Amino acid sequence: MGYFKWNKMYAAMLATPLRVGDVLFGHLLTVVFHLATATTIFVGVAALFGGFPGWGALWCIPVGVVTGLAFAVPVFAYTASQETEDGFNVLFRLVVSPLMLFSGTFFPIDQLPVWLQPIAWVTPLWHGVELARGAATGVVSSPVPAWVHVAALLSFVGVGGWLALRLFTRRLVA
């Protein structure tokens, strides 16, 4: 929001030969760097303390990056559609906070009521948690194949990227 509204960083970037897609892609590359750095540090520290049974835990790094992008890219699109910061309160209260509860992060989703379990299956966090847990422990607990989880996460990134580009263009060029 700050880059759009307060410090006008995106407008400054567009005063150069950069296009809207370049600005969006560059900012997303920065997000990828931050995600990769944080995930690598976490995996490294956890490995030092014996948190993983084997080298398969290294797969947690790309899983963490793709899962983070599955959130960041749609949030970029959402941000481009907001005029004030008030919409972020709604986003965090009604989407992000419940998502943590229905993702299988803190307890298995099979402990949820049967009618809530499908909600978990369509969230990016559940797919990321299932992939990371399988990589970290070497035990696949999900009946869903890993490629389905990866495809779901990439679809969040792809659809979010398409929306973000459209909404960024609408907001920055119009």
pLDDT of 143 strictly over 80: no
Q: How does pLDDT run across 42-85, given as a tens digit for each residue?
A: 999 999 999 999 999 999 999 999 999 999 999 999 999 998 88
Q: What is the pLDDT of residue 34?
A: 98
Contact 36, 29 (CB under 8 A): no
Q: How does pLDDT run across 79-125, given as a tens digit for each residue?
A: 999 988 888 888 888 888 888 888 888 888 888 889 988 888 899 99
Q: What is the pLDDT of residue 22?
A: 96
Q: How far apart are CA 28 and CA 80, in angstroms?
A: 14
If pLDDT is split at 50, 70 and 90, which confidence band does 140 have? confident
The residue range of the domain holding 35 is 2-173
pTM of the complete model beyond 0.75: yes
**What's the total number of domains in the chain?**
1
User: Would you give the DSSP letter of residue 55?
Assistant: G
Nearest to 121 by CA among 137, 140, 154, 143: 143
pLDDT of 141 strictly over 80: no
Q: What is the pLDDT of residue 110?
A: 86
